[in-house]
């Protein structure tokens, strides 16, 4: 066998190995990101950079308070037939204020809002803590990353209006993926009951945050893995990573938005909230919390966080 044929076979083998590696990486990334996972805890959260150990005492006290409140499991049906779960905590003040809370990736609402629940309750809000699709007690095989969840958010808004009356005043609060959800919801035709939105460390699109994670954790370029993974997501989950961008939705919203982000966030970079803020067409505020990692802003500077939300409450609810 001549040397030219050996070279050709070697090149073909390398190409085949490369294609197999790309296919394997594509399938792995699709399963890792889009498929439903067990609910994360503080010690196994996908974002390992946030050091939650320093907040455990405070979180424990808040958990005791939350567990002591009378609550009700409530359910709605999504547009595509999924049974979605929420935890309803009615305020003893019989208030018309309602906050609907949307959690982060792999979490659930009673995890991400264990501390903020007490704060909102003290501001006379009824609490509707929802499990997004493919999370907690809600049905679903594939994570929606806000693209699918924004339609679910509309159903939860409708539920709140029916439960608390046509004169109720609704806040939407989202953290991480939940923040992207409420921002993507902001551009839809919302009822006047929705008075304001709080978006804590939200990303600009699924495409942007996935590209960032590929670079941060795996040190590989977004092409072709992102393109191929998106094809699988479109086929099985029914959406593309660029189908909805928070930038496009906030550019047409009329709902006031408070953006919050920690400047040490390496999971969803702070520039994403800065870009969302710039694009927002409604009344808006931006709070950057120094020293806060992902979803940690409330725990790092509760005073500033609460002060910013109270100012929004006084303005709009």
CATH architecture, domain defined by 52-205+244-316? 3-Layer(aba) Sandwich (3.40)
What's the pTM value of the predicted model, to 2 decimals?
A: 0.95
Count of other CB atoms within 10 angstroms of residue 80: 11
Task: Label residue 135 exposed, middle or buried (CB < 10 Å: 0-12, 13-18, 19+).
Answer: buried
Give the span between the Cα atoms of 121 and 101, in whole angstroms. Answer: 12
3-state secondary structure 47-72: CCCCCHHHHHHHHHHHHHHHHHCCCE
Give the span between the Cα atoms of 252 and 192, in whole angstroms. Answer: 15
In this predicted structure, what is the pLDDT of residue 30? 93
In this predicted structure, what is the pLDDT of residue 223? 87
CA dist list (Å): 24 to 13, 17, 207: 16, 10, 20
Alpha-helix residue ranges (DSSP H) falling in the chain: 3-34, 56-68, 109-112, 116-122, 149-164, 177-185, 206-213, 225-236, 246-250, 270-279, 297-300, 302-316
In this predicted structure, what is the pLDDT of residue 63? 95
Coil, helix or strand for 198? strand
Contact present, 210 and 105 (Cβ < 8 Å): no
Q: Identify the CA nearest to 230 among candidates 200, 251, 205.
A: 205
Domain boundaries, the chain: 1-34+210-238, 52-205+244-316
Give the span between the Cα atoms of 245 and 209, in whole angstroms. Answer: 11
In this predicted structure, what is the pLDDT of residue 19? 80
Contact present, 113 and 104 (Cβ < 8 Å): no
In this predicted structure, what is the pLDDT of residue 163? 98
Per-residue pLDDT tens listing for the chain (317 residues) = 578 777 777 777 787 887 888 889 899 989 999 999 998 876 555 555 788 999 999 999 999 999 999 999 999 999 999 999 999 999 999 999 999 999 999 999 999 999 999 999 999 999 999 999 999 999 999 999 999 999 999 999 999 999 999 999 999 999 999 999 999 999 999 999 999 999 999 999 999 999 999 999 888 888 899 999 999 999 999 999 999 999 999 999 999 999 999 999 999 999 999 999 999 999 999 999 999 999 999 999 999 999 999 999 999 98
In this predicted structure, what is the pLDDT of residue 42? 62
Please state whether beta strands 83-89 and 72-77 pair in parallel, antiparallel, or not at all (unpaired).
antiparallel
In this predicted structure, what is the pLDDT of residue 22? 85
Give the span between the Cα atoms of 28 and 218, in whole angstroms. Answer: 12
In this predicted structure, what is the pLDDT of residue 44? 53
Give the span between the Cα atoms of 12 and 156, in whole angstroms. Answer: 54
């Amino acid at each position: 066998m001549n040397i030219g044929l050996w070279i050709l076979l070697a090149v073909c083998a390398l190409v085949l190995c490369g294609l197999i590696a790309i296919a394997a990486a594509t399938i792995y990334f699709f399963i890792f990101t889009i498929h439903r996972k067990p609910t994360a805890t503080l010690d196994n959260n996908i974002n390992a950079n946030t050091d939650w150990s320093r907040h455990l005492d405070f979180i424990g006290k808040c958990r005791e308070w939350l567990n002591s409140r009378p609550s009700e499991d409530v359910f709605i049906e999504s547009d595509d037939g999924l049974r979605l779960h929420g935890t309803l905590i009615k305020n003893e003040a019989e208030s018309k204020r309602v906050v609907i809370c949307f959690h982060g990736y792999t979490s659930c609402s009673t995890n991400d809002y264990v501390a903020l629940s007490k704060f909102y309750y003290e501001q006379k809000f009824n609490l509707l803590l929802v499990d997004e699709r493919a999370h907690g007690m809600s049905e679903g095989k594939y994570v929606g990353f806000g693209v699918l969840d924004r339609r679910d958010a509309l159903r939860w808004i409708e539920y709140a209006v029916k439960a608390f009356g046509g004169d109720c005043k609704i806040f939407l609060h989202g953290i991480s993926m939940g923040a992207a959800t409420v921002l993507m919801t902001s551009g839809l035709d919302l009822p006047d009951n929705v008075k304001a939105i709080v978006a804590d460390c939200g990303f600009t699109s699924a495409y942007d945050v996935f590209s960032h994670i590929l670079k941060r954790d795996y040190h590989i370029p977004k092409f072709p893995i992102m393109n191929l993974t998106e094809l699988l997501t479109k086929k099985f989950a029914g959406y593309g990573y660029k189908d909805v961008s928070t930038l496009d939705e906030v550019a047409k919203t009329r709902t006031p938005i408070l953006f919050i982000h920690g400047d040490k966030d390496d999971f969803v970079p702070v520039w994403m909230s800065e870009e969302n803020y710039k694009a927002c067409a409604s009344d808006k505020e931006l709070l950057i919390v120094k020293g806060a990692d992902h979803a940690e802003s409330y725990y790092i500077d509760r005073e500033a966080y609460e002060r910013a939300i109270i100012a929004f409450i006084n303005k709009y609810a």
